[in-house]
Structure 1
Amino acid sequence: MGNSVALIDYGAGNLHSVENALRKVGAEVNVTADSDVVARAERIILPGVGSFKSCAEGLRAVDGMVEAMESRALSGGVPFLGICVGMQLLATRGLEHDTTDGLDWISGDVELIEPDDPKVKVPHMGWNDVGLTPHAHGNEVVQPGEAYFLHSYRFHAEDGADIVAMTDHGGGIVAAVGRDNLLGVQFHPEKSQAYGLDLLSRFLEWNP
């Protein structure tokens, strides 16, 4: 398996920055809205910025894309990375404004961050520590460090075994989820300087 990556373009991702970061670490990047390309991809990245609802609707509006992702990543086992809202879309539901169905690849809900300390601001914006959970063993991609976050909603995983990493923002917040060949990170690797580039480099080498 090589370093070719299908970066999914569905009108809801910070594609240019992610593409540039991937090229810096030697990836062959195919920015694509073509489900046939995704159905043959060696590695898949799903970015996402904005609301859960708009991202979910945008992804489903691309003909055959969800089916191609399910065939290639969920069933086919190729390495998959969701970034920010791209990670959140792995959940069962998003509870932002309305209830919106996610992909339901990793059971859980995406809900508003409600800090324990009222002085802690939402959105969660800026650099924060990423700490591994006991369930992170076997996942070589996410490592402890400091990453850049920008979000108002958090992933509440139903099964703690799916939580790879945590951060803290007025209470614990899931920083990464994963199972088998599936991985999602709440932070932005493309904005996380050396830490993020190292993560993307490890993703290119990952053979789950």
Structure 2
Amino acid sequence: MHMHNNTDISRDEFLEWLDEHPPSSVVYVSFGTMSTLSDEQAEQLASGLHRSGHRFLWVLRDADRADIFAFESNSRRLPARFEKVVEGVGKVVRGWVPQLEVLAHWATGRFMSHCGWNSCMEAVSCGVPVMAWPMHLDQPANARLLAEGLKVGVVVREWDRRREVVAAKRVEEVVRIVMEGEDGRRMREKAREMGEAVRAA
């Protein structure tokens, strides 16, 4: 298990935030540098994460429309107060983060991902189950491999429905599936075994 040196005052704020949470209790949400979310989709994702009741770390890059949390009175975008509402449960980080370090952190329990190949390999090597949300043509096969082949994940949205907005209810449902109950426990155990095998190799 990857441990951090708590005396390192240069450590990033979000890693310190992870340090404060129990093992495998945080959902890491990141869709890569080339993926985009519409304002409506970002709103539904935020709502679903919040409604799930589980801790989450959501990395928003420029490609993710990082301005969705800015208040605009004539817009459907999420108000800035969202970050205050989720304080203590969720954390929003803008910009780049060392993904491998986040996935290796003891508090990171699941990964909501676009399923780029590098992200898939990093998740597997760290033993973290994936909530697969493919956004580009090379990613649906990766999502199926994780969910159906390796059984270390679940698909959030099928590829043939990629033009549809994923509702908050579905986001909440998927988070609960992987974080709670028997299916989630099996995914976690399988991912842990695979991670150990990959690291040993």
TM-score interval (norm. to shorter): 0.3 to 0.5
Larger strand share, 1 or 2 = 1
Larger helix share, 1 or 2 = 2
TM-score normalised per structure 1: 0.41
Higher relative contact order (CA 8 A, sep 6+): 2
